[in-house]
């Protein structure tokens, strides 16, 4: 999985929109009292707690220890574990939920994750997930790559942002039939005002900047802002809007 250096406090305070948008995905999940639900990539636990409020019994897992520590501190009554979804050995669950996490898992590792989800659900239940879909943050990513490229840095890292047509057969190969799916634009206003784009790249783009000197990093961020300002910045409100696209789906064990 790409190694991002997670700062849980900054994640909650400066990127709260991640969980805010995720509430829609919880609504789609429609958790019921007594259901056992696995929250895959739970981060600091905000949505795990929303799911638990329904009366469901939730287990939140995340590969980042710092995030799980924060989740446990915030919600001591809930159950969290540090676990890599590719290697997790699940109990039986009625549903698996995931918001804004699966794009961190490289393309070639999704089969291991889907196999785990399929095992968790057995013959019934549902997998409800949303993550970055094809074209997600493409303008931002291209601008960063162009600036890195111009300074001779390697730009081989990438997140995984599939289309519906690409992901549905992968789910099917693991016995998970898509019953609802959409790929949609969701322009997303970034927190942080005039420095919102820098902060976003600072929070999520560690891997892109691996091996980049501090001085170059600042110059690259200046260049990225310059490239994107005409299209993604509103100077009146001092707000950056990133070109998010979401892949959202519900899949169920094939009958």
Tokens of 30: 């429609």
Could you tell me whether strands 126-132 and 245-253 are parallel, antiparallel, or unpaired per DSSP bridges?
antiparallel
Q: Are 182 and 164 in contact (CB under 8 A)?
A: yes
- Given the DSSP bridges, would you call strands 188-189 and 95-99 parallel, antiparallel or unpaired? unpaired
**Smallest gap from residue 100 Cβ to ligand BEZ (A):** 4
Structure tokens at 172: 């099917």
User: 19 or 38: whose CB is closer to ligand BEZ?
Assistant: 19
3-state secondary structure of 115: helix
Contacting ligand BEZ (CB under 6 A), which of 37, 100, 102, 176? 100
Q: Does 80 bind ligand BEZ (CB under 6 A)?
A: no
Contact between 224 and 1 (Cβ < 8 Å): no
Nearest approach, Cβ of 104 to ligand BEZ (angstroms)?
A: 8
- Pick 44 or 136: Cβ nearer ligand BEZ: 136
- Residue from the set 60, 132, 162, 202 that interacts with ligand BEZ by CB under 6 A: 132
- Sole window of 32-40, 68-76, 131-139, 168-176 interacting with ligand BEZ (rule: CB under 6 A): 131-139
Look at residue 249 and give its three-state secondary structure: strand
Binding residues for ligand BEZ restricted to 144-183, rule: CB under 6 A: 159
Q: Is 115 exposed, middle or buried (0-12, 13-18, 19+ CB in 10 A)?
A: middle
The dihedrals phi and psi of 38, each to the nearest 5 degrees, come to -100, 125
Tell me which of 41, 47, 75, 103 binds ligand BEZ, using CB under 6 A.
Answer: 103
Under the binding rule (CB under 6 A), the answer on residue 63 touching ligand BEZ is: no
Q: What is the length of the chain? A: 255
At closest approach, how far in Å is the CB of 253 from ligand BEZ?
Answer: 27
> Does residue 117 interact with ligand BEZ by CB under 6 A?
no
Taking the alpha carbons at both ends of the chain, their separation in whole angstroms is 32
Can residue 129 be called a binding residue for ligand BEZ (CB under 6 A)? no
Phi, psi at residue 253, to the nearest 5°?
-55, 130
Q: Contact at 8 Å (CB) between 208 and 153?
A: no
User: Which stretch, 6-14, 42-50, 67-75, 130-138, contacts ligand BEZ (CB under 6 A)?
Assistant: 130-138
Residue among 80 and 204 whose Cβ is closer to ligand BEZ:
204
Does residue number 248 form part of the binding site for ligand BEZ (CB under 6 A)? no
- When asked if residue 93 is in the footprint of ligand BEZ (CB under 6 A), the reply is no
List residues binding ligand BEZ (CB under 6 A): 100, 103, 132, 136-137, 159, 204, 244
């Amino acid at each position: 999985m790409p190694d991002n250096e997670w700062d849980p406090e900054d994640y909650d305070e400066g990127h709260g929109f991640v969980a805010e948008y995720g509430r829609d995905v919880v609504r789609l999940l429609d958790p019921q009292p007594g259901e056992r639900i696995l929250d895959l990539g739970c981060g600091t636990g905000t949505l795990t707690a929303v799911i638990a409020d329904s009366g469901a019994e939730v287990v939140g897992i995340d590969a980042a220890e710092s995030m799980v520590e924060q989740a446990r501190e915030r919600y001591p009554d809930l159950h969290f574990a540090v676990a890599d979804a590719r290697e997790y050995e699940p109990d039986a669950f009625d549903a698996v939920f995931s918001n804004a996490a699966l794009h961190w898992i490289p393309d070639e590792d999704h089969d291991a994750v889907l196999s785990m989800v399929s095992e968790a659900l057995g013959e019934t239940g549902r997998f409800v997930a949303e993550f970055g879909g094809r074209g997600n943050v493409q303008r931002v990513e291209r601008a960063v790559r162009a600036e890195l490229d111009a300074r001779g840095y390697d730009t081989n890292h990438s997140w995984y942002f599939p289309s519906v047509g690409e992901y549905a057969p992968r789910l099917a190969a693991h016995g998970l039939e898509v019953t609802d799916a959409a790929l949609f634009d969701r322009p997303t206003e970034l927190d942080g005002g005039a420095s919102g784009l820098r902060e976003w790249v600072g929070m999520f783009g560690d891997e892109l900047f691996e091996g980049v000197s501090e001085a170059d990093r600042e110059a690259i961020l200046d260049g990225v802002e310059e490239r994107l300002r005409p299209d993604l910045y509103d100077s009146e409100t001092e707000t950056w809007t990133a070109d998010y696209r979401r892949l959202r789906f519900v899949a169920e064990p094939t009958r």
